[in-house]
Amino acid sequence: MEFIFASGNAHKAAELAELFKGSNLSIVAAPEAIAVEETADFLYGNAEIKARAYYDKFKRPTVADDSGLFVEALPAELGVLTARFGGDSLTALQRCELLLKRMENESERSAFFMCVLCFVLSPTEIYFFEGRLNGQIGKEIVGDTGFGYDPIFYPNDLKHGPLGAQSLAQDEVFKMAHSHRARAVARARSFLTSYIARP
């Protein structure tokens, strides 16, 4: 089964397509990007809004994702607002700097990245899959590779420095195997492969 990716982000579409490689599911870029207002205050809601909008437009099975960084010490500041933390004008590096400043007097530094995938097969067949990567917020920016908050995020359960501290190639290999998005995809592959193959 082929799904269109509900986004104009070609990099994300390619990453998802790679994660589904070797399964009976394929992800392709949407024929065109459409404007979708993400009005929900939680990841599941925004993923569904995007997936439904693209399904309604193109009348084809669709997948959307929404992701965020959740920081224990700042429960109301990131999450669904992760990409807009500090205002729309900040660069990714400036967002990292701002987060470190907000955390400078915090001893509790637990955090996790979370990804929600929403698959719309039909108006009445909608499935959600969640992936998380638990970790800690560091105390300084390490390296200049990676994406978003990678240079200050240390995964808990893996022997790896902050995601942005390695070479870009190493980061990409790591993410394809262990990221929050990869973990959501693993759950989706397991369920949907069996679902689609049923008699």
Catalytic residues, by residue number, are 66
Q: Looking at residue 145, what DSSP letter applies?
A: -
**Is residue 23 a contact partner of residue 17, using CB atoms and an 8 Å limit?**
no
The two three-digit tokens of residue 198, written as one number: 């049923």
- State the distance between the two ends of the chain, measured CA to CA, in whole angstroms: 15
**Is residue 155 a contact partner of residue 133, using CB atoms and an 8 Å limit?**
yes
At how many degrees (to 10) do helices 180-197 and 168-178 cross? Answer: 40
β-strands 153-155, 125-137 pairing: antiparallel
